[in-house]
Structure 1
Amino acid sequence: MVSFYDFLLFIPSLAISLAIIVPLTGVLVRFRANYNPKGLQLDAEGGAEPHTGPVIHSYFGMMLRVYRIEGWPGLYKGLMPTLLSSAVITVFILFFLDAPPRHGAYKAPTAGIIGTLAYSVGMMLISLPTAIITYRSITTPHKLAYFNIVQSIRILLTPTERARPWILYLTPGLLAAEVIHIAIVVLVLGPLHRFLLPSLGTPNVSIEDISFLKLSLYIVVVVLCAAFLTPLEVIATRLAIQRNHASPEFNSVSQEVDGDTEETMEFAGVEEDVIGLRSEGDPYLGLVDCAQRIIAEEGYVALYRAWWLTLLGGILSAFA
């Protein structure tokens, strides 16, 4: 049974984690969401004009741009939805799964491959709406109040999404990208980790107990998986910030011509957008369409933005 003392100890750990993770995650989301077409675009009169949006080539370049334009408040955009979602998931884990987190982390229960897959998909479904809201709060050019939840929701969600919240799950391609990502981690990385490195992550393991041949093989597997996981993460980011609008046929992709947009206030004192966003009038139609358009419009490199973070996470998982 989870004690009140355990719960109190977790609060400062969560606060420290958010203070570090929120800015790093915000920069990552903006870097991957930034729309930077490589070719010419057509203006209102059909003439060709070069893309005038921000061009950022690195993760740390994006970090400096965010700080230069919006300062510390910009780096902490997305704090409140991250805090709320972390609190809800933590309470769910503590009181319904009866498993207190240790050292600020929670590990999925050992229940075999199928059980772990089902658990991971279930947790993804629970957290998906808050993840969408978090990504949009990070990428929006509008200033969001920390404690005015109603106003923030009106800015981040369309009237269609507010009237039918379940439409967030129907965002074209998003669920597919998330499920494929989970499947690669659970069905490929998980079993190979247990097969090649069963002793890593357990106490009292000395350097002599580690097979460097197996460790090298696992790192090769991580590199190969990162080649698939990174594009999925970029695609999921693009799809999550793509807002759903209504149409007479109730197609979540088609855009409503009238009545599905609202006037909102831009970030105070900012004369330029931190990132460029793709027009909502020409949305991605799904996972494959998103990948094809990113390649055609921005090049393969755009699918591998911050690939080293995905790779680093996979390598560190070997010691988890």
Structure 2
Amino acid sequence: MLGLFDTMVVLGSLALSLAILVPLAGALVRFRAHYNPKGLQLDSEGGVQPHTGPVISSFFSMLRRVHRIEGWPGLYKGLMPSLLSTLVITIFLMIFLSDSNLRHGTYSAPDAGVVGILVYSIFAMLVSLPQVIITNRAITTPHKLPYLNPIYSLRVLLTPTERRRPWILYLTPGLLATQVAHIAYIVLGLRSIRQLLLPELANPGLPRSEEISPVKLVIFFVIALLSTIILTPLEVIAIRLSIQRNHAAPEFNSISQEEEGDADEATEYAGVEEDVIGLRTEREPYVGLIDCGKRIIEEEGWGALYRAWWLTTLGSLSGAFS
């Protein structure tokens, strides 16, 4: 167990990291969730109509737009689910890990080979999936959610079907497949290649420069960079699918989203006359991983699948060499 001083240090660093990361993560989720179809669309009668929603071209443009329209509270949407999940993980580490391990940040996934790490990673994803869905929806909802009223917030974010049968969140079309594909590529792909080319990086501490082949290091660096081509679309698709609510009313099919009744009394931001982002129509939901990717390309173009690709590249490189 940690002493009082160490506990305060851990909690202080946790608060600082959330203060910095929550606005950045929120802008990323909104940027990738934003529905920005091509200039001309067909209406229900086959006529051509121009798209009138906001056009947001970059991650930093989204960050500025959130602050302009919703202010600082908008930048910290999703704070409470992020804080609660982080606190649970931190308390677990403080209880079950030694003082020195936690202080020096030596905790990692169990070293049980590629298959063991894959199983561990998928299990961790399954445990955290409801929290990810709720966080992404809290970030993208146009409604103002109270920090200390989770019942009200869940009524806004979840459909009656999802509240009655919360396990249906795991059946959100294509979401589990997307998350598993993302994890499998990193663990079976990048990690296996790293173990093959640079096994020295798996050892504790920093390896000496003479232990690493410069040629193999460059090869692995290039592979990690090229992984952005695969990982970024999976991350964009995962966000799109996670905000797609499940509904089972007779007039809808089982994957259609609810349009009325959830947020009739939800509070809007004062003085806000426009939404921060546009969301895709609820009448035609994505039906799976492949369908989501195809529709994004057809309706919005290839660029929508690679929004903020450079953040994925940074994550791939830091994860590959950690």
TM-score normalised according to structure 1 size: 0.91
CA distance in 1, matches of 2:34, 2:220: 32
Instruction: Look up the match of 2:287.
Output: 285
Aligned partner of residue 227 in structure 2, secondary structure: helix
Pair 228,261 (structure 1): closer, same or farther in 2 beyond 3 Å: same
Conserved in 2, the CA contact under 8 Å of 1:26 and 1:75?
A: yes
1:115 pairs with 2:116: yes
Aligned partner of residue 199 in structure 1, secondary structure: helix
Conserved in 2, the CA contact under 8 Å of 1:171 and 1:252?
A: no
Pair 246,63 (structure 1): closer, same or farther in 2 beyond 3 Å: same
Conserved in 2, the CA contact under 8 Å of 1:14 and 1:104?
A: no
Deviation of 1:41 after TM superposition, in Å, equals 2.9
CA distance in 2, matches of 1:188, 1:89: 27
Aligned partner of residue 49 in structure 1, secondary structure: strand
Query: AA paired with 1:159?
Result: P
Pair 259,74 (structure 1): closer, same or farther in 2 beyond 3 Å: closer
Query: AA paired with 1:88?
Result: V
Instruction: Look up the match of 1:241.
Output: 243
Long gaps (5+) in structure 1: none
CA distance in 1, matches of 2:68, 2:61: 11
Long gaps (5+) in structure 2: none
Conserved in 1, the CA contact under 8 Å of 2:41 and 2:51?
A: yes
Instruction: Look up the match of 1:50.
Output: 50
CA distance in 2, matches of 1:318, 1:129: 27
Deviation of 1:307 after TM superposition, in Å, equals 0.8
Instruction: Look up the match of 2:63.
Output: 63
Deviates more, 1:54-63 or 1:167-176: 54-63
1:98-156 CA-to-partner distances (Å, cap 9, x unmatched) read: 79545568421111111111110111011110111100111111011111111111111
Instruction: Look up the match of 1:79.
Output: 79
Conserved in 2, the CA contact under 8 Å of 1:67 and 1:75?
A: yes
1:65-88 CA-to-partner distances (Å, cap 9, x unmatched) read: 111112222111111110011112
Deviation of 1:248 after TM superposition, in Å, equals 3.9
CA distance in 2, matches of 1:160, 1:150: 15
Aligned partner of residue 203 in structure 1, secondary structure: coil
CA distance in 2, matches of 1:50, 1:117: 46
1:186 pairs with 2:204: no
Equivalenced residues, count:
319
CA distance in 1, matches of 2:171, 2:106: 30
Aligned partner of residue 255 in structure 2, secondary structure: coil
Query: Percent of counterpart pairs with the same letter?
Result: 63
Pair 263,64 (structure 1): closer, same or farther in 2 beyond 3 Å: same
Aligned partner of residue 223 in structure 1, secondary structure: helix
1:307 pairs with 2:309: yes
Instruction: Look up the match of 2:217.
Output: 215
Pair 133,204 (structure 1): closer, same or farther in 2 beyond 3 Å: closer
Pair 96,246 (structure 1): closer, same or farther in 2 beyond 3 Å: farther
CA distance in 2, matches of 1:158, 1:42: 29
1:1-320 mapped onto 2 (5 Å cutoff): 2-4=1-3, 7-43=7-43, 47-95=47-95, 101-102=102-103, 106-200=107-201, 202-248=204-250, 252-255=254-257, 262-320=264-322
